[in-house]
Structure 1
Amino acid sequence: MLSVAHQVFLAVAANLSFSKAAQVLFITQPAVSKHVKVLEDQYKVPLFERKGASISLTQAGQMLYNHLVKASEIQRKIEYDLSTLSNVSHASGHLRLGASTTIALYILPSILSNFQREFTSVAVQLVNRNSEYILNALLSHEVDLGIIEVENKLTTVSYQHFMSDEVIPVCSSKSPLAGKELSIKQLTQTPLALRERGSGTLDALLKALSEHGVKSSDLNIKIRLGGTEALKNFLRADQCLGFMPKPSIIRELAEGELVEVPVKGLHIKRDFFFIRRKGTDDDGLTSNFIQFAMRDL
């Protein structure tokens, strides 16, 4: 088992911040500093280089971090594998899951609820960010399993298809756009509210528009908002057109708060994939969750 000091070091190294590590671990910053000092005394080398308010890993610190990441993964596998020897329902462990906004807010809640009812000893940590962030979190070992939209596949990541959805153009029912059908040319002249860069929803839109010869610079973008809920609430109050994942606005469409504004010839479909670091495909806990989620979808 990793010592408390090693777990604290991992948190500091992942965040490159003593204060952020303290927040993540729910301990005081002096306690974080004390644990790191214990390791530096134990190994007789500095693990962090202090540069004013920022810190970075020393060569020794980076070496220790690389070893501890591997040790942490082995520890997690041991806990899960031994707990499931007699019965998979006895599984225990810690599932670090990352998902893009649409999946995290509108698809996963019921799946996670059912999963935890069946596997009561598995602790789940869910990170909800855009697709770019989740991919980077996977590669930096902050999460062990991600669910994101995928445009370009990396050789260091393995992919398994999860589900598809549709992104549709919508506006407030009070907008002058309500009840209209637009051409691609009219779309480029229409005030738009869009997601932030790095968003899978935005990437899907731009990919679909590129097939019609339209670039981001051709669009009349009035505002960019971070997150699906922020964009949805803005569209409810404004007259702009926006592009929303259909699962995120089922209620608003049914109640007439938002209405679809068809754009001739524009169809936006997204595919979501489970992503894992290459070489971790045999991980029992993430494989178990993938199988459960596919059945429960």
Structure 2
Amino acid sequence: MNEQQITYFMALVEKQSFSKAAKSLYVTQPSFSQYIQKMEKQFGTKLFDRSSTPIRLTPEGEAVYEAVCEIRSIHANLKERITSLTNLQTGSLCIGTTPLCGSTLLSKSIHEFHKRYTGIHISLVEKPLNELQASIHNGECDIAICSGQISPVNFHLEILATEQIYLALSPDNPLTETLCSYQLQAEDIIKNSLALLKTPCCPLETFQKQPYVLFEGSESIASCAKNIFEEACIEPNVSLQVRNMHTAFAFVLADMGFSFFPDTMIKYGNFKKHPCYYKIQNRFNEQTIYLITKKNRNIPKTAIEYCLLLKELIVSGTWKK
């Protein structure tokens, strides 16, 4: 298989839709479909089951997928050997992350790495967590940095930090007047004030009948919020469903309901206006941020150097935006 065949094949595997795959490659759907059909004709068999929704690989397609992953791994290992010989004067680094993590946590470390190694081309791949794991597995990304539930079977996970989850409610909501003793301002969280330590956790039951802005996106906070409610045996009163964290934030400010946000978003989201925040006592009120690599794969020297730099910044407390 040539590089274009691999690119087209993997695009359809990842997007599970001819139209979405074609759009991601900036080609027309008819042209993309013809190319896939030509490839299947070359192999003498169907690689994709078009009768299912979404599209899935046939057993023959699974075999091709495994081969493509091996090809990418071989290419990546060869690339690493060549890059190592040039002492990082040239090369590339592909970092995978989720949209929220990418917008709040990585700009400082990537900027510092670029200053040290100006000849290294850096690319940032932002994807939902499930697609991100696939990108690490098939060799598209060298490393990934994100939070969430990740299986340690195929990946090596290294803990970088933890982020605290806070309940957020509009300051215009009348309930805030009765919750003054539990209330935190954004500055308390951003500056780790004494109030942050002394303010007690607010009972989640207080919000049981309050409207809730449900975030249904791919960020790990979505599953975290679900676990928080289940742990507290509360059925949320959903007023609005959104698929973007910043959209959820805007509707909380507009008093459409309360929601949950990680402290990384509160600290590094560059928001001019904030809701009121509340600590909650719950087994799922924090989540772990991981550095993820694929097991049994040589890590490129560029990625190793970036990881070392990232850890330096974490130790000094300056790795975040």
| Same fold, judged at TM 0.5 (above) | yes
Matched, 1:187 2:207: yes
Could you tell me how far 1:281 is from its partner in structure 2?
5.9
Partner of 2:75: 75
- Structure 2 contact 14–131 (Cα < 8 Å) conserved: no
AA at the equivalent of 2:167: P
Please give the per-residue CA displacement for 1:102-143, whole angstroms capped at 9, x wherever unaligned.
Answer: 3122112333344345354424141243x4554465457665
AA at the equivalent of 1:83: T
- Structure showing greater relative contact order (alpha-carbon pairs closer than 8 Å, 6 or more residues apart): 2
Q: 1:155 and 1:99 mapped to 2: Cα distance? A: 19
Which of 243, 248, 269 is the aligned partner of 2:265? 248
Structure 1 segment 1-297 matched on structure 2, within 5 A? 2-51=2-51, 55-88=55-88, 90-93=89-92, 95=94, 97-117=95-115, 118-129=117-128, 131-132=129-130, 134-135=132-133, 138=136, 143-151=141-149, 153-179=151-177, 180=179, 181=182, 182-196=202-216, 199-205=219-225, 207=227, 214-217=232-235, 219-238=236-255, 240-250=257-267, 257-263=274-280, 265=281, 268-280=285-297, 282-296=299-313, 297=319
SS at match of 1:77: helix
Structure 1's 48 and 222: CA in aligned 2 closer, same or farther, altered over 3 A?
Answer: closer
For structure 1, the residue ranges without an aligned partner over 5 or more in a row are: none
SS at match of 2:85: coil
Q: 2:273 and 2:34 mapped to 1: Cα distance? A: 57
- Structure 1 contact 176–239 (Cα < 8 Å) conserved: no
Please give the per-residue CA displacement for 1:157-205, whole angstroms capped at 9, x wherever unaligned.
Answer: 2211122222212222222233513434323343332422764224444
For structure 2, the residue ranges without an aligned partner over 5 or more in a row are: 183-201, 314-318
Q: TM-score, normalised by structure 1?
A: 0.78
Q: TM-score, normalised by structure 2?
A: 0.73
Question: Number of matched residues?
Answer: 290
AA at the equivalent of 2:26: F
SS at match of 2:166: strand
Q: 2:13 and 2:271 mapped to 1: Cα distance? A: 47
CA RMSD of aligned residues (A): 3.5
SS at match of 2:153: coil
Structure 1 range deviating more: 246-255 or 2-11? 246-255
- Structure 1 contact 48–57 (Cα < 8 Å) conserved: yes
Q: Which has the higher strand share?
A: 1
AA at the equivalent of 2:290: F
